[in-house]
Structure 1
C-alpha cells in the first residue's frame, strides 16, 4: 500500500505517475505570513489537474515541502476534485542560494537524529496533527556545488528516516558535483542506494556522472521537461539509456505548475501538467523511441520506488 493524501492506495491503483510536480509554492519562505484563498488556489489549478487526468495520468507526486508552501487542505481538495492520487512528503527544502529560507523552525537547531525522529513520527502518526502520511522524503541541497553543514544534516536525517521507514528520498540537486557528494554521504549512512533519487538530473546534463551514479544504483529523475524549450537532450539521453540498459534507473516528470503565494504570484507563469503527454512523448516516438518504454518510466519504475518495502 502507498500513502496518498486521501489515505492508503493499492499498488495497482498507482498507475501512470508523475514523480515531481507542484501545486503551490510560497516564494517568501518558511517565515511567510502570506494570506491566500483556498478556493482561489483550487479554482486556478484544478483545470490543469483535470487536463492531466484526461491525458491518462493517475498519480501526482507533489514536491512542495513544509516551509515552501505545502498546504495539506489544498492537496486534499485537489485530489478529491480531480480524481488524481496526490502524494505528499516529509522533509526540508534548502535549494538554490536561499540558505535556510525555506526551513521551518520545527527542525532548526535540531540534531540529525532529532530531525529524523520528527519525520519518522509524522510517518507513523500523520503530518501536522492529521491522519495524512507521507509517501516519500523530500529534501534539497544548495545549487552552488557545495553541500553546507546544514544541508548535510538534513541529508543524513533523511537517510536515517528512510532506513527506519523505507520511504524513498527525492533530493533536489542541480550540480552533478553535489550529487556525487550526496551519494557518498548516504553510503556512509548505510542507506540502500535504490532509495535515493537525484532530482533534476537532467538540468546540468552531465551524461558522464549520470551514467556513473546510475550504475551505482541510485535513481535518475529527468523532471525538467515542463520547463525545457525543446527536448533534444532528453531524447538522446533516453536512446542512450535504452542502449545501455539504464531504463531501470530512470524516472520522468516535469516540475510543472505552480500557484505562487507571495510576491511572485503570477498566474500567467503556470506550466501545464500535461506537456509530457502532449509534446514530449509524441516527439520521442517520432524520434524512434518505442512508446512501450513509457510504461516502464511512468508506471513500473515509480511503483518500484514508491512501494514501501
Structure 2
C-alpha cells in the first residue's frame, strides 16, 4: 500500500506535512445515534453548541493544537454536519472517522461483515451521511469481555477489510485491563493488516509492560489516549509513558485525551459535576500538564515533539 501524503479532513484533504500537533483520539460531541438531529434543545440549541464547541477548538488552535482526530462513530451520535460546522467556526483541522463503537443498533448488529465493510468503504471514498465529507480514519471498539463479542468480531473484520480496500489507517478502543488489544491484533493479522497501520487505543489504562511492549513488539502503535483519566491516575500514566520511552518505544506512541467537548451519554449532572472537574484543562491537558510531567521525568523536548507531531504524521503516511 502506497504511503499517504494527504489525509481526508472534514473541510477537505490535509497534507500530512500540515497536520502539526495532533490529538489522535478525541470527540467533538457524543450521544446516542440520532440524538443531535432529533433533540438539539438538549444541547442548548444547534447554533449555540457550534459556537461553544467551536470556541473551545479555536482556543486550542491558538494554543498550538493543529489537528483534532474525531473518532465519533454512527453509534456514538456522529453528526458530520455538526463536526463540519465546528471545523469552519474554529479553523481546526478535524479528521472524521468511520467504523463502530460499543452500542450497535439492532439494524447494525444484523449486518454481515461484507455489508459493514461496504458502509465503511463508502464513507471513506464517497462521503458520510449524504455529504462529500470523507472519513480519514477507521475506528474499532471492543472491551466488554475477555473475548470479542459476535458483533465485535464482525466489526473488527469489516474495519480490517475496509482498511485493505482504501489504505485508511485504523485506531481502536480496547479494554487494556482485559488485554483486548491482543484479541484485536489476532483478527487484524488473520485479515492481513500491517500492524504499523493500527493504533491500539486506551492502552494507558494499564501499566502492564507485558501488554504494552507485547503489542509494540508485534509492530502496533500504542495510544496513550485517555489522559488524565483517574484509573490509573495521571502520575501512573505519565510514568508508564516515560518508561516506554526509556525502553526505546517512543516511535510507536501517540497521545490524546478521549475528551468529548459535549457528552450526552450520562445524566447532565455527571457532565457538569464530574466530567468537567475530572479534567479542567480539557483538550489542553497534554500541553499544560502531561508534557511538562514527562519533562520532569527526564524526557527531552525533541521526544515530546515526536509524540505529538512526528508520530501522528508518520502514522497517517504509513
TM-score relative to the length of structure 1: 0.90
1:299 positional shift:
0.9
Q: Give SS of 2:283's match.
A: coil
Q: Quick one: distance in 1 between partners of 2:92 and 2:38?
A: 27
The structure carrying a bigger helix percent of its residues is 2
- Tell me the equivalent position of 2:289: 279
For residues 42-82 of structure 1, what are the alpha-carbon distances to aligned partners after superposition, in whole Å with 9 as ceiling and x for unaligned? 23323322231122110001121112111112211211121
Q: Quick one: distance in 1 between partners of 2:242 and 2:141?
A: 29
Q: Give SS of 1:25's match.
A: coil
1:31 positional shift:
6.4
Q: Quick one: distance in 2 between partners of 1:282 and 1:233?
A: 14
More displaced stretch, 114-123 vs 264-273: 264-273
Are 2:78 and 1:70 aligned? Answer: yes
Does the CA-based 8 Å contact 2:227-2:234 persist in structure 1?
yes
1:106 positional shift:
5.7
Are 2:117 and 1:116 aligned? Answer: yes
Q: Aligned to 1:19, which of 19, 24, 35?
A: 24
Unaligned runs of 5+ in 2: 1-5
1:10 positional shift:
1.2
1:182 positional shift:
1.3
1:139 positional shift:
1.6
Superposed, 1:48-197 pairs within 5 Å as 48-94=56-102, 102-104=103-105, 107-175=108-176, 176-197=178-199
TM-score relative to the length of structure 2: 0.88
Q: Quick one: distance in 2 between partners of 1:60 and 1:288?
A: 27
1:244 positional shift:
2.0
- Tell me the equivalent position of 2:212: 210
Q: Quick one: distance in 1 between partners of 2:256 and 2:265?
A: 26
Q: Quick one: distance in 1 between partners of 2:167 and 2:182?
A: 22
Does the CA-based 8 Å contact 1:173-1:198 persist in structure 2?
yes
Q: Quick one: distance in 2 between partners of 1:31 and 1:257?
A: 17
1:263 positional shift:
5.5
Pair 142,234 (structure 1): closer, same or farther in 2 beyond 3 Å: closer
For residues 255-285 of structure 1, what are the alpha-carbon distances to aligned partners after superposition, in whole Å with 9 as ceiling and x for unaligned? 1133123653355234411011111111221
For residues 138-185 of structure 1, what are the alpha-carbon distances to aligned partners after superposition, in whole Å with 9 as ceiling and x for unaligned? 121133322111100000100011111111111111134321111111
Q: Quick one: distance in 1 between partners of 2:312 and 2:242?
A: 20
- Tell me the equivalent position of 2:3: none
1:30 positional shift:
3.1
Are 2:10 and 1:2 aligned? Answer: no
Does the CA-based 8 Å contact 1:93-1:138 persist in structure 2?
yes
- Tell me the equivalent position of 1:249: 252
Q: Quick one: distance in 2 between partners of 1:30 and 1:42?
A: 18
For residues 178-231 of structure 1, what are the alpha-carbon distances to aligned partners after superposition, in whole Å with 9 as ceiling and x for unaligned? 211111111111111112211100113222111111011011000111324853
1:107 positional shift:
3.4
For residues 6-36 of structure 1, what are the alpha-carbon distances to aligned partners after superposition, in whole Å with 9 as ceiling and x for unaligned? 011111211110001111111xx33657501
